[in-house]
Structure 1
Amino acid sequence: MKYVILIITGLLISSCVQKQESKMITQKITKPIVLEAESIFGKVEDEVDDKVGMNFNDLQNKVFKIGSENYYTGECAFYFECDCCSGELIFNQDSTFYYIDKCGSDESVRKGNFNFENNVFVLEYGAESVAKRYNWEREVDTTAVEYFITDTILKSVTIEYTASLCDSKIMLEDKKHGQYAIEQSSDCNKALKYLEEEKYIDRIKNLEQ
């Protein structure tokens, strides 16, 4: 009889221990999964907030390098393999901007207006364009004029850029034409001063009248 009681007592203790261990295992498995899920959803929400949190003021007084997707490195930067692959966007304090299309020693400048709607920056390029072309005759005749300046009326163009953050820099993407524009550390005032000294701004104003 004594042995029967000992056996029954042992079975009861073993059963309690197994239930307790099973409960502990369940808790260890369940708890981290819940916390991880909460962490993941929280991270996604933060990224979305960063993206949609931009506004019109985020472009003011800034310079952007612009190029096609062929020269985008995928790491918030460009790698240009030619002299005629890049350009610059200079955003003013108001709703206007200047676009500089560079090709070696040649360049052309256009003025436009921009606005912001639903996390999309809409750039309206004006028809007035001023181009500066190098005079290659100067290579053999140093008395020849160095550059030819021409004023042209082109077709107005409207381009929509989706805005996002890339390594704390603003990146604009034109998916329709495969173009990117990435924020630079360049001085906006210095860039505008260059346009003034080269008479681009005055010539564009004359074309607008």
Structure 2
Amino acid sequence: MEKVKSIYVLLLAVFIISCRSETESKKTTIESKTDTINKVNQHIYKNISDTTIDIRNRVFEFGSTTHLDECRFYFECDCCSGEFIFKPDYTFYYIDYCMSDLSVTRGTYHINNNYVYLSADSIRVQELYNWEQESDTSAIEYILSDSIIKPYKMQFAIHKCESNIKLIDMEDPAFVALSSDKNQDSILTILKKKGIIKRFVY
């Protein structure tokens, strides 16, 4: 009987130690994730300039930090890039490219203490390649469509990155945008010729 009790006590001790180890492991994992998030946020706040950075009348290329080499993008995928256009009148265009297709949304923005706040409208315009043209040469090359989407909001921290300006998404720090030398009027002219801009007039 004493031997059975000893075995029971031993098994109970092993079970308790195992539970403690699992709890401590989960705690360590949570603390590790929290530390990572805090380090990212500290990096963002540390690099925000004390001087107001003007992003109006600029074009920004956006993508992921996985395609970022220091302060420059290198894109090696078909659907991982796009552009923000910040007009002087505080409207913006968000252009998302995917192979031969593109998707555009529009909204307004405001800047406060080197943070930019974006509020998108509920319309999305898409230009999609017409695959029927592959078999019917008389078919149009692209099809325009618009749809109603749920309005979205985004917040970016603004800071310098070498000679560029970098925007970092406050909810997803892996999503960033870098200023470019592209002319926004040229891009908007192309969108107008495609008939995309007028679809936002309502």
Q: TM-score range by the shorter chain?
A: 0.7 to 0.9
Deviations 1:69-104 (A, max 9, x none): 22122x211111211110100111111011111001
Deviations 1:32-86 (A, max 9, x none): xxxxxxxxxxxxxxxx79812124xx1111100001222122x211111211110
Is 2:126 the counterpart of 1:131? Answer: yes
User: Aligned residue for 2:150?
Assistant: 155
Q: Indicate which of 58, 61, 64 corresponds to 2:57.
A: 61
User: Aligned residue for 1:113?
Assistant: 108
> What letter matches 2:184 in structure 1?
C
2:73 is paired with a residue of what secondary structure? coil
Q: Tell me: CA distance 1:80–1:124, structure 2 relative to 1, closer, same or farther (3 Å).
A: same
How is 1:174-189 mapped onto 2 (pairs within 5 angstroms)? 174-177=169-172, 178-189=174-185
Is 2:194 the counterpart of 1:198? Answer: yes
Between Structure 1 and Structure 2, which shows a larger proportion of helix residues? Answer: 1
1:59 is paired with a residue of what secondary structure? coil
C-alpha RMSD over aligned residues? 1.6
User: Aligned residue for 1:19?
Assistant: none
User: Aligned residue for 2:161?
Assistant: 166
Is 2:47 the counterpart of 1:52? Answer: no
Q: Distance in 2 between matches of 1:158 and 1:109?
A: 15
How is 1:23-62 mapped onto 2 (pairs within 5 angstroms)? 51-55=49-53, 58-62=54-58
Q: Distance in 1 between matches of 2:73 and 2:56?
A: 22
Q: Distance in 2 between matches of 1:145 and 1:50?
A: 47
Q: Tell me: CA distance 1:144–1:116, structure 2 relative to 1, closer, same or farther (3 Å).
A: same
Q: Tell me: CA distance 1:145–1:183, structure 2 relative to 1, closer, same or farther (3 Å).
A: same
User: Aligned residue for 1:145?
Assistant: 140
> What letter matches 2:146 in structure 1?
D
Q: Distance in 2 between matches of 1:50 and 1:79?
A: 24
**Cα deviation, residue 183, structure 1:** 0.2
Q: Distance in 2 between matches of 1:70 and 1:156?
A: 27
Q: Distance in 1 between matches of 2:183 and 2:67?
A: 23
Runs of 4+ in structure 1 over 2 Å off: none
2:72 is paired with a residue of what secondary structure? coil
1:145 is paired with a residue of what secondary structure? coil
Q: Which residues of structure 1 form unaligned runs of 5+?
A: 1-47
